[in-house]
Amino acid sequence: MAVGILLVGGFGTRLKPLTDESPKPMLPVAGLPVTEHQILAAKKAGVHTLVLATSYLAEIFTPYFGDGAKWGIKILYAVEKEPLGTGGAIRNAAELLGRDEPVVVFNGDVLSRHSIADQIKFHTDNKADVTLHLIDVEDARAFGCVPTDADGRVTAFLEKMDNPVTNSINAGCYVFSPDVIDKIPLGTVVSVERETFPALVASGRSVFGYKEQSYWLDVGTPAALFKGSRDLVEGDFQAMAGTTIAPDAVITGGTSIGARCTIGAGVHIDDCIIGDDVMIGDGARLSHSFIAHGTAVAAGVQKSAHYLSQKLDLPIIV
**Comparing C-alpha atoms, which of 304, 297, 265 is closest to residue 283?**
265
Binding positions for ligand GTP, 34-53, rule CB under 6 A? 53
Find out whether 2 and 120 touch, Cβ atoms under 8 Å.
yes
Binding positions for ligand GTP, 59-118, rule CB under 6 A? 80, 83-86, 89, 107-109
Q: Find the shortest distance in angstroms from Cβ 44 to ligand GTP.
A: 20
C-beta closer to ligand GTP: residue 33 or 102: 33
Round to whole Å and give the CA distance between 49 and 62.
15
Q: Find the shortest distance in angstroms from Cβ 58 to ligand GTP.
A: 9
- To the query of whether residue 160 is one of the catalytic residues in this protein, the response is yes
Q: Find the shortest distance in angstroms from Cβ 195 to ligand GTP.
A: 13
The single residue among 2, 3, 4, 10 that binds ligand GTP, judged by CB under 6 A, is: 10
Active-site residue among 160, 211, 303, 311?
A: 160
Site size toward ligand GTP, by CB under 6 A: 22
Which of 11-19, 94-102, 141-149, 222-230 is the region at the interface with ligand GTP (rule: CB under 6 A)? 11-19
User: Alpha helix locations (H) across 129-247?
Assistant: 178-181, 197-202, 222-232
C-beta closer to ligand GTP: residue 80 or 270: 80
* Alpha-carbon distances of 44 from 49, 115, 159, 283, 318, rounded to whole Å: 12, 9, 33, 42, 32
**Comparing C-alpha atoms, which of 56, 27, 37 is closest to residue 291?**
27
* Alpha-carbon distances of 239 from 18, 34, 277, rounded to whole Å: 21, 16, 12
Round to whole Å and give the CA distance between 71 and 145.
35
Binding residues for ligand GTP (CB under 6 A): 7-14, 24-25, 53, 55, 80, 83-86, 89, 107-109, 220
The residues assigned a catalytic role are 160
